[in-house]
Structure 1
Amino acid sequence: MPRLAGALALALSAAACTAGDFGRPRPGVWNDVIVPSAGLWSATARGETVSPFRMTDDEEQLRDRAWRFVMPAHERSFFERQVSDFAHSRVLPVEAQSSTASDYFHALTGGSYRSQASRYNRLAEDANADRLLIGPFRANAGRVVAADRVRMRAVDASPQVPPEQRDPAFARVVENEGLILWVCERVNFRIESYRYALANLVVEMPSREAIRAERSIMALEAEAGPLCKLDLIGAFRGGAKPAPADKPVVYKG
């Protein structure tokens, strides 16, 4: 355990030194080679599904778009952001992330603001920014799911696909669906965090600005609904795996 804690501390320090604009990982050997390799090794060691397939453009973009939603909503949550960044790269399991709704409120109120209106405005702006980015992510996810349906139908139907391609294909579908479900979970967590912050701001510093913040959160909830109802194949939830090569089946859906 001490070794693990030390390794994590070293990794977090290195990540902190390589943070780019808005906290995003800056391109380089550490973020483009070392961390992804460590992520695949760690995920495999934990028994998670890992595919060796190269990613499509849409799959790459899906992971890029997911980054915002799996990060803590406030940049002052430094340690939590680093943990989430490593969860995004699969170095750490997603369970390592904080699920404490009060984190955002404490980060929001921890800095110096001119007035309570600034805090309410920041809350409304964060919720609005999330809302505007959910649509593009949902569209991206829809393209990935559609391509995965084609992928699995080809696996089932084509005798030219060798057996060793079947499991990696299914593993990629599991990875894609797992990411979409994770983003849905973290978006709902953001909404919970925003509502916690709004309620406690009203108690501590009542202001008419709370109305705008409330409307922003409601709009985010409305936009998040369709994402969490996206029609997936069901692989991540334990759906059908590819049949043996001599017993092809057609995937439903």
Structure 2
Amino acid sequence: MPDTPHWIRWTFPASVLLVACVALAGCSGGDFGRTRQDFINDDMHRWIGGEATSSVGLRPSQFQLTDNERQLRDLAYPLIEPPHSRPAWRSVFGDYQPLPAPWRQAPAFDRTAYGRALIDEPHRSHSSRYANLIDDVRDDVTRFEPFFASAIKVLGLDRKRNASLAHVSELSPRERDDAIARMQENTLIVQWVQQCLERRVSSYRWALERLVIQAPDGMAADADRLIGELAAQTANPPVAAAPVIGRALTTRG
């Protein structure tokens, strides 16, 4: 087999590769609003619990996160982040930012926002819009089971924690308050994800309906099937977190 002509070989001088590596490193360090390196750590999603509790007038726990609680928050973030909320190029480097809990979000939830963004964004063809919708729904279906498996584990351990409070010797008021606050945090996180999933199903259905009337395509059937699967999962979660005592938790919008 003859050698590849030198004029079509991909060759990069070492200096070019070095400059590219430096540029990429700089991008991940916080330029242009991207994720700062000092924000990326094992507890980068810890804020979710504090946001959830403070949004309903409760204080966050000062206990360190357990491995299971950390995993719960890590798995929750992709489900509470609005779907299709950033351009694809940003997701390569990250565009991380804290989000408000649903109990104090303003303005009220707009089920049309996702669909309008999907339809208004430039696309090469209408089929790419269907493909984006299908990918977003499939991602949520894929994330559903891992999150709720984690929730089952965390809430189960919290029941044991709650039962043990009456038997811990010399339990200080601060320890008791932090234990209760952590259980409230975990419960609220599960409820937060549940509300977001319900809203996502509503948004996906609105978007599909508009795609069907604007650009009918056989891909609509696949999208509808996936949305139905996500809706069925959301309506029958494997674990339901009881409302936090002393506070009515309702969804606005």
1:57 aligns with 2:38: no
Decide which of 96, 99, 115 is 1:87's aligned counterpart.
99
- For 1:186-201, what aligned pairs fall within 5 Å after superposition? 186-201=196-211
Whether the 8 Å CA contact 2:30–2:36 is kept in 1: the answer is no
Decide which of 129, 133, 139 is 1:129's aligned counterpart.
139
Whether the 8 Å CA contact 1:51–1:172 is kept in 2: the answer is yes
Partners in 2 of 1:112 and 1:236 — Cα distance? Answer: 44
1:118 aligns with 2:128: yes
Partners in 2 of 1:35 and 1:71 — Cα distance? Answer: 12
So what's the TM-score if we normalise by structure 1?
Answer: 0.71
Give the drift of 1:160. Answer: 3.9
Partners in 1 of 2:30 and 2:236 — Cα distance? Answer: 34
Which one scores higher on RCO, CA 8 angstroms, separation ≥ 6?
2
Q: CA offsets, 1:45-84, max 9 Å, x none? A: 9833311111111111111111111111113489xxx9x9
Question: 2:246 aligns to what?
Answer: 238
For structure 2, the 5+ residue unaligned runs are 1-28, 89-93, 248-253
Partners in 2 of 1:41 and 1:209 — Cα distance? Answer: 39
Distance 1:65 1:196, change over 3 A: same
Whether the 8 Å CA contact 1:50–1:172 is kept in 2: the answer is yes
Decide which of 163, 166, 169 is 2:176's aligned counterpart.
166
Distance 1:45 1:58, change over 3 A: closer
Give the drift of 1:212. Answer: 0.8
RMSD over aligned CA atoms reads: 3.7
Distance 1:16 1:109, change over 3 A: farther
Partners in 2 of 1:142 and 1:46 — Cα distance? Answer: 23
Give the drift of 1:165. Answer: 1.0
Partners in 2 of 1:42 and 1:226 — Cα distance? Answer: 23
Partners in 1 of 2:70 and 2:43 — Cα distance? Answer: 15
Partners in 1 of 2:38 and 2:208 — Cα distance? Answer: 39
Identity of aligned residues (%): 30
Whether the 8 Å CA contact 2:111–2:202 is kept in 1: the answer is yes
Partners in 1 of 2:33 and 2:159 — Cα distance? Answer: 37
Distance 1:133 1:150, change over 3 A: same
SS of 2:105's partner is helix
Larger Rg belongs to: 2
